[in-house]
Amino acid sequence: MVVVWSNFSKENLKNFLQTTLMEKENAIKYIKKLVEYVNCLKENNFLGKVLTRYDNKKIYQLIFEKHRVIYFIESDKIYIISVIHTVQTIEKTFDNIKYFFNDIDE
């Protein structure tokens, strides 16, 4: 399995770095740990729970400390759709899911 980060999920991490109250060094360490945790999906891809369904596809959620990692599995790839803080609502992520699938279908 290969983990593929969407542009939206990369932007989520960049925004976290820019807006967090953590010291920058600690925030970078946190993100590295988050990425390492997400990489565990390569061996245990159904580690998260089903969050919702979109167009007959299961969308999963994996919790890492204070963040939700939203992902989708297709054949040998794990697509990271979004990474959001647990206090944030996931409506924006739900809105983004349809755009994500349009991007990978093209």
> What CATH number is given to the structural domain containing 63?
3.30.2310.20
pLDDT at 23: 96
DSSP 46: T
pLDDT at 57: 84
Residue 75 or 90, more confident: 75
pLDDT at 106: 46
Residue 78 or 56, more confident: 78
pLDDT at 97: 76
Distances (CA, A) of 23 to 26, 30, 44, 65, 86: 5, 10, 32, 17, 20
For residue 8 the two structure tokens come to 């939206």
Per residue in 15-62, pLDDT (tens digit) is 999 999 999 999 999 999 999 999 999 999 888 999 888 778 899 999
pTM attached to this predicted model: 0.86
Residue 55: exposure state from Cβ atoms within 10 A (0-12, 13-18, ≥19): exposed
Structural domain count of the chain: 1
pLDDT at 91: 75
pLDDT at 9: 93
* Domain housing 41: 2-105
Looking at every residue in the chain, the average pLDDT score rounds to: 88
